[in-house]
Amino acid sequence: MDKAFKIFYRTFYVAIIVIIAFLLIALFPIKGNIQIKIVKSGSMEPSIKTGSVVIIKPSANYTTGDVVTFGKDTKTDIPTTHRIISSRAQNGVIMFTTKGDANEDKDTSEIRQSDIHGKVLFDVPFFGYIIDLARKPLGFAVLIILPAIIVMYDEGVKIFREISKMRKKKEEVVENIQ
């Protein structure tokens, strides 16, 4: 039982660290580097599920078949993650036509290469729900602060037990001397 608790405890601890890392990367993206985006619609299902986290990286070249994230990324505007289905050059600018895998029709407007945030390297299904929850005050408290309090409490109990053991040993030594 004690071994199972230790395994659970360590797994939980690692999971919290991973969530914090993803949250920090998502909150403070570095332009031109790997970024994390949350997929908020089902337009790419079944290949990318709603609520997934996509890890994207900018590229110099995008080709037909690449899944890319593009568009405005503000508090009110959510970027889109779709597959490139064709490309063409117009006055020296490469224009891409995109489409969601679950959508019947292609997207209504073409996008420029400069509008693309990056190519999807991989996705983590449903992890976006956790990241999105952690961005909210209540979610942050539940996912980050509460587990931190539990870890600190557990470590405090261990320290208290060790101090108690040391006191008992000290008392035994004093009794043996007398």
> Number of helices and strands (H, E) in the chain?
4, 7
Of the candidates 67, 71, 96, 69, which has an alpha carbon nearest to the alpha carbon of residue 83? 67
Contact 39, 81 (CB under 8 A): yes
Q: Mind listing the pLDDT tens digit for each residue in 144-162?
A: 777 788 888 888 999 999 9
pLDDT in tens, 49-86: 998 989 898 888 899 999 999 988 887 888 999 999 99
Dist. CA 41–CA 53, nearest whole Å: 12
Q: What are phi and psi of 86, to 5 degrees?
A: -165, 165
Q: Hey, what are 21's tokens?
A: 């890392």
> Is this structure's pTM higher than 0.85?
no
